[in-house]
Structure 1
Amino acid sequence: MFKRIILASSSPRRQKILKTLFENFEIVIPQIEEIHDDDAIHTVEKLALLKALNVFDKVKDAVVIGADTVVEIDGTILGKPKDLCDAESQLCKLLGKWHSVHTCVAVVSWGEMWLKTQTARVKFRKVPKEVVKYYAQNYSLGKAGSYGLQDFGGVFVESIVGDPYVVIGLPIADLWEYFYRKGWWSSETKRTDDEGWF
């Protein structure tokens, strides 16, 4: 087992997911500017890697996990909303339509970088404007596309094609497989008090 595992994220949902894999890990918030370019896949891969590298540059003796998620609809990237008005606008764009959620996980350790990107397709149902407003005011900030599958945002979702953990923001199976193949995960590292999402 590697000496230190660090999650380069301030996201509570990513922290909760990682707790299902490892009993002990540290959280260090990366200091990067999250700038989106025109290509959604390139954006998530660049930002996930930048987050991991930014933290690894400070610690060097650890395995650092970075991740990034964006929502894409009709070729437009929806990142984290700037404010409540932006959150409502993003949610309204998604109502009744299919969209893509792209998540990349980057793992950086001494002498190695690993990236894995996955896409899930999500269809939103139509909901009343009051529900959009309620959600935006209480849940949207800090979430790509202004929603999260793991909270009340699940009421928006009519259908998902792909891994739900891509939508939540940290594909647990991909991450586990990487750590398992490297010999950095065993049943002894797994928590016994994990709750899961579903």
Structure 2
Amino acid sequence: MAPEYPAAASVGKPPFPAGASGSGDGPLTCPCRRAMPQAIMSTTSSGRVPLQPRFLLPLGAAALALALSACSSTGGSVASTPAPSPGKRIKGVPVTRQPTRAAPRDAAVQMAPGLEGVIGANQSQLTRMFGEPRLDVWEGDARKLQFTGTACVLDVFLYPSTTSKEPHATYVETRRSSDGQNVDRAACVAALRQR
């Protein structure tokens, strides 16, 4: 909203002393009044003189230039903090350890009665045993196959080993299809094999 300035008539007194405008009881005859454009002298219904748009552009440009000049007070370049030397520790900054590369190792294998044909099987062997998986998810070099039936859901996790690049089943999770509660792994594997 544009600021408005009080008009001389709304205040009740002329803005100049009576001697500056002549008699003081009539309209102002000051030379500055004659030089002002008629659009500026018009008043709004509240008796205030509106600020004209042609004055807003130079005023806005000046404000923008002032604001931008504050941003470049460093000469336009950004100074950065130098990196600390390797032997020096900054107070309050935690020490970051560099990752170590360990030799790949075999995943822990889950061995349980009833899982003999599943653990150690690859993707094609599991597909022959249970049919097409409902889900086949890769995460890095690991793989998860999900097989479903009316009785249960079987998640088989396959990982590569140091001797083979192809992932093999190393872990199994099972749950009921109806409510997601854990069920016996061997019983689920047997139910899904019978389909």
Instruction: Tell me if TM exceeds 0.5.
Output: no
* Structure 1 or 2: more helix by fraction: 1
TM-score, normalised by the number of residues in structure 1: 0.21
* TM-score normalised to structure 2 length: 0.22
Task: Tell me: higher relative CO, structure 1 or 2? Use CA pairs within 8 A at least 6 residues apart.
Answer: 1
Which structure has greater strand proportion?
1
Larger Rg: 2
